[in-house]
Amino acid sequence: MKRWSREHLQKAIEHMTADDFQRESAQKALEEIVSWDNAVDADTYEAFHQHLKAWPEGRNRAEATAMMEYHGRWKQLSVSEGISSSGNRI
């Protein structure tokens, strides 16, 4: 999946919107997209938690919640089963 740079998206928004309300809405959408991309790139419980905290009603809230649950369960399994983050027994 191609990720757009923040600068490229910002330029696109500046050219696409005419009034301040649209520009503000577009800026918030851009910030949410960047936040989500950062969470996906980090792929950690903490990253998804930060995204959800910043965007509790965001478009990716269900997936962020699911990923937090997944990472939380993996941590529990890792500790109880003695598995390292790389998947090896410790």
Look up the domain containing 22 and give its range. Answer: 7-81
Query: Contact 49/35 with Cβ under 8 angstroms?
Result: no
Would you say residue 55 lies in a domain? yes
- By the 10 Å C-beta count (0-12 exposed, 13-18 middle, 19+ buried), 52 is classed as buried
User: 16 vs 2, which has greater pLDDT?
Assistant: 16
| Amino acid occupying residue 48 | F
Classify residue 85 by its DSSP letter. T
Cα(86)–Cα(40) distance, rounded to whole angstroms?
Answer: 18
pLDDT band for 82, please (50, 70, 90 cuts): low
Residue at 57 is within a domain: yes
Mean pLDDT of the chain: 80
47 within a domain of the structure (yes/no): yes
Report yes or no on whether pTM surpasses 0.75. no
